[in-house]
Amino acid sequence: MGKKLMIVDPQKCTGCRNCELVCSVKHNGVSDPSLARIHIVKWDDERFYMPMRCQHCRDAPCLAVCPKDAIYRDEEMDSVRINHDLCIGCKMCVSACPFGAMGWNPKRGRVFKCDLCHGDPQCVRFCDVKAVDYVETSKLCCDRMRDAAENYAELTRRYPR
């Protein structure tokens, strides 16, 4: 089995924010999107919704900036992880993340970000349209190509030559 990658598809997202809800409950036992590790960005006039969360960067600024090596790469999961035992709560990673994906929970006094739910991301599990998905990298391109080709097929069916 190949490695998996978390991807988003703004075209599919319906903006329901169930991902924020289940993420916040899964990790904190409470409903509070400000504690969710995923967020749906919306604009009044734009015609799509954009799911945003940790990209698990290859060359991660949060990891690079951490003075205590509390952030590390999990090569098996291909993800960026936090070791809370080493974290000193300096929040440099919060400043460094270009996506705003590193959050700070003042009540627990610790940083937080997507941990892929240890291989079973709940945002993906609960997203019926799969606007967020967790797919094997080897299948990634094929799946997208198939989706794109399906649009073409649909048009052809609808407007036959």
Partner 1 sequence: MALNRKIAYIDLDAETVRFEQIPMEWRRKFIGGRGLDAYLLYTNTPKGCDPLGSDNVVIISAGILGGTLASSASRTHITAKSPLTNLFGSASMGGFFAPEMRWAGIDHFVIRGKASRPVFIYAHDGEIEIRDADFVWGKGVYDTQARIRSELADEETQILCIGQAGENLVRYATVMTGRKDAGARTGMGAVLGSKNLKAIACRGTMEIEISNPEEALEYNKETIDRVVSSKASQSMQRWGTNFMFGITNTTGLVRTRNFQYNQLPNSENLEAENLEKFSVGMDACFGCQVHCRHRYVIKDGEYAGTYALGPDFTGQGAFGAEVGCRSMDTVLVCNHLVNDYGIDTLEVGSMIAWAMELYEEGIITDKDTHGLKLEWGNDEAVIALIKQVALRQGFGDILAEGPLPAARRLGPDSLKYLIHVKGMSNLNTDERAAPAWALSIAVSSRGSDNLRGMPAIDLYNLPMELLEKVYRSPDGYDGPLTNSFSEYEGKPRMVMWQELCYMAVESLGVCKYHTVFLSPNHPAFTEFSRLIQLNVGLEFSEMDLWDCAKRCYTIERLFNLREGMTRADDMLTDRYFEEPTRLGLPAARGKYIDRNRFEAMLDEYYRLHEWDEAGIPTPELLERLDISDLWTPGKN
Rounded to the nearest whole angstrom, what is the least distance from the CB of residue 14 to partner 1 in the complex? 4
What is the enclosing helix (H) or strand (E) of 155? Answer: helix 137-158
Closest to 9 (Cα-Cα) out of 40, 35, 33, 36:
40
Q: Which residue of 5, 26, 65, 99 would you call a contact of partner 1, by CB under 8 A?
A: 26
Shortest Å, Cβ 128 to partner 1: 4
Residues 88-147 that bind partner 1 (CB under 8 A): 122, 125-126, 128-129
Query: In the structure encoding, which two tokens stand for residue 63, read together?
Result: 């990891």
Q: Under a CB-based contact definition with an 8 Å cutoff, are residues 112 and 121 in contact? A: no
Determine the residue type at 126.
F
Instruction: Supply the minimum distance, in Å, between the C-beta of residue 158 and partner 1.
Output: 9
Binding part of the chain for partner 1, among 34-42, 50-58, 80-88, 134-142 by CB under 8 A, reads: 34-42
Minimum distance of partner 1 from residue 114's CB (angstroms): 17
Segment 64 to 83, residues that bind partner 1, using CB under 8 A = none
Closest CA to 4 of 53, 76, 61, 71: 76
